[in-house]
Structure formats: C-alpha cells, structure tokens
Structure 1
C-alpha cells in the first residue's frame, strides 16, 4: 500500500542524546499500533533549545520528547501546561497544536506508576511510600503517586527544606491528598515502615552509595531506582542485599514513552511487551 502523505514527525531533544532509547521504543509502538510516524534524536546546543523547538515545529513536527537539560525550559516555553507540569516545574512531552499553541505535559510520574502497578504488580493504593530526593525527578512523579491513594508518602532529602517546599506545593491541591498523609523528613530521621522506596536522586551516578540507611528496607518491600543500566546497579545490589525487591527505571522509561504516544496519537501501546523486548535487546548487546 502506497501512502501519499509522509508520516507524522516526532523527536526527542536533549544534550547528550546519542544514548537515547526513545527512537527504538517509539518505532516499536508505531509498529504495534499501526500508527505512521517517524521519530528521531535531535542533539540540541545547550543554549539553542528555543531555536530547535521552533525549527522542528515550522518544519512540520507534531510533537517532541524533552530530556536533560531542557525539561525546565520546555515547561517555560509552552503556552499551555498540564497540572502535572505546573507541579513539577518541568515538562518532558510537548505537543504542537493546530492553533499554533504548544501543550506541555510531564509523563514521568505516569510511567513510574504504570511500571510499579502493572509491570511489577505492586499496589500503591493504601501503601506506605518513601520518595528519596526533592529535585526535578521527584517533583515530576509525586503528583501521580499521590493520585494512587497511598496511605502515606514521605519525601526525604538531605536538605530537608527542599523536601518541605515540594510537599507544600502538593499540599496546596487538596484533591491530591484525599487518602494520603504527606510528610517531609530528613534522610537521617527515617524509620522502617515503607512498602515502596523510590530513589529519585542521582546518588548512584556520583558513587555516593545508598541515599538512605538500610533501616528503611524490609524483606519484600519494593526498592525502585528511577535510573537504569549501570547507573542503578549500586542501589539495586544494596537493596537486594537487605532483602528488598530491587527494580530499575527501564520500565518507567518505556511507560512514560507510552503515555507520550497516547498524548500524540490517542492510542496507548503495550508497554509491558515493549519493555520485555527492550530488556532482551539490551541483554543481547543491541
């Protein structure tokens, strides 16, 4: 069958970007869903995001994913921002609307929730959660975590004032806290009462060791690092050695991409299937 119109164009912008798995993921999504798209990596100069965004949109681009270091700027330059973007202060998914506006969303938290509840099979409703970190990564996921109705969420950070600021921002929206106690604590004052521990810090990259003490872990609790690959290995080994169930953030990567695909195409691909295929490809050295 010959198509007279070219496929819709999407991309991921970042710096660096060569490592990104997003083109592979979205190509599989398109194959599985029958959607006609092309998706590419775009290396953007650190001071050139606005120009790159404009050029892609003028050239017919329909939307883009945004990765470091442009997530904050993506939120600032959008004309319409979802509540998730307003809470996080950052966007990872932009959609160029027919009226010329740009819609910003943040699908990171949705991807995290989907990976934990669907792929790992761990319920968040009624659970006690520890979110370690208070930077952009933590801010991007706290809202969707609260929407799952956990019993308690503790945000812990080495600088407690940052954790308190993040908590206050979310406490200002009572509809997120109908079933949940939301607290900020110092990492040194934590007690072992958590079903799920989520590492939203870059501690593994810095070689600093675990961001919290082993007292927060208990046998069978889920210990989740939002990073994946070698960057997550130290945290995963530490969690496993203390009887917790370790999980890296590769599923979050796939599921947040599935949410972005849904924003653009109105179809949500089978994230679990693509995650299994991606793990197999990585294991095979691809």
Structure 2
C-alpha cells in the first residue's frame, strides 16, 4: 500500500515538473512576441525607460500611423509580397522536381551521393561569403534594384533547403504507387504532376511556409541589391536604426504588421500543415 502511494506521488511530481518545464518553455517562446506587440503600442518615452515596462498600462496607435505615413510604404509591402510569393513558388517547384529526380529516377549510387553532398555544401555556405560575388553579377546583368534580382537570389538560396526537405517526403511515398503508374503508361512528368505532387501536398505546404518565411524576412541581399524600386520591409525596418536614434515604437509596429501576411499564408496551408509535419513519422 505504501509502495503504491509512493508510486502515485512520484507520478504526480513528475507530471508537475513536466507542466512547469512546459510552461517555462512556452513563456520563453512567447515572450519575444508579447514584447514586440506591446512595444508597438507604447509611447516613445515608455520604450526607453529603465527598468523596462513589462505590463504597459497605456497605449497609442501613433507608431502604426507613423509607419503607414512613410513614403512608398505600400510599394514596399507589395515588393516583399511579390518577391516572397514568386521565389517561394519557383523554389518549391524547381526543388520538388530535383528532389523527385533524386528519389525516384534510377541513378548510380555514387553519382546520387555526390549530387546530394554538393547540394548540402551549397546550403552550408554562409550567405555573407557570396554577397560580393552576387552583387557583382547582379550589377553586371543590369538587374540592380529590381524584383528579378531578389527573386533569383532567394530562389537560389532556398533550393538546397527545398530539395533536402522534399527528398524526405518523396522517399516516404511507397514505390508501388510509382510502379503502378509506370504500368499504366504514365510518363515521368505525368507521374510527377498527377500522382506524386498531390500525395506530397502536406510536405509541399510545410516547405512552402519555411521558404516564404525566409524570403519574407531576408535582409542581407535585400539591403545590398536594392535601393528604392525593389526595397523590401526588412530594409525599411533597418532604416529606423542609426547612430543617433533608435525608434523602437515604429520598428515594433512595422515588425508586428509583417507577421500578419505570414500568419495568413500559414492559415491558408493549415489544412496540410499538421499532416506535413508528421508525414513519414509512422512506417507501415
């Protein structure tokens, strides 16, 4: 009887510790978002006080109105949306085609391994190491400050990630489906478009979200390759920082507004998101 009570007490203690750790992790993850939103509604004087105000008792919409009054802010929003959507579409399409070829098309083992390692190495390279070559190439092609320059750059940098992620999804699809399609006379392109892609929609949704977030938030190349015509929102946010001032309110307001399109994009793909995150977790 005493042993049973000890066991129950240990279970309750373990469950309590699990809840406490989970709550601490949730607070650590959610606090930056909370701080961003609250700072967006603070008065300027409240953003620089020490100690900082954790729970503000007053708020204002002036930071948002100041951001919306910035010249060409609408164009900058459209630039970010256009570049992120097009580069996501191209990256997912081209990366899925490459991943399907590596997973379903017969290829010598060593050749396949060399290609996959090369793709991985390209992904490992820090973006700053290729910044100057990209700048020289884009300027040589007369594409400076254009949407095409950022679309090509973002697509090139997301391709290795898309290939490796989609490769896992395609490899989890049963080979019997592909063989049955071959027996029915389907070509390689028909098998890819009409059979494999619909089955891999959960994986495509997850990949598209990560790719969109990367392109939407990318700053390094956006700041180097654009000046006004193709300027994106991360570059606008950086403009609120200088050696003389740091406008926390406007920065937070614009950053909070930038989260909305990502949430909308994730909401549109929510139908496949959970399935994609658990795709291939259980082997049959």
Q: Quickly name the TM-score band, shorter chain normalised.
A: under 0.3
- Tell which has more relative contact order, 1 or 2 (C-alpha 8 A, sep 6+): 2
Task: Give the TM-score of the pair, scaled to structure 2.
Answer: 0.23
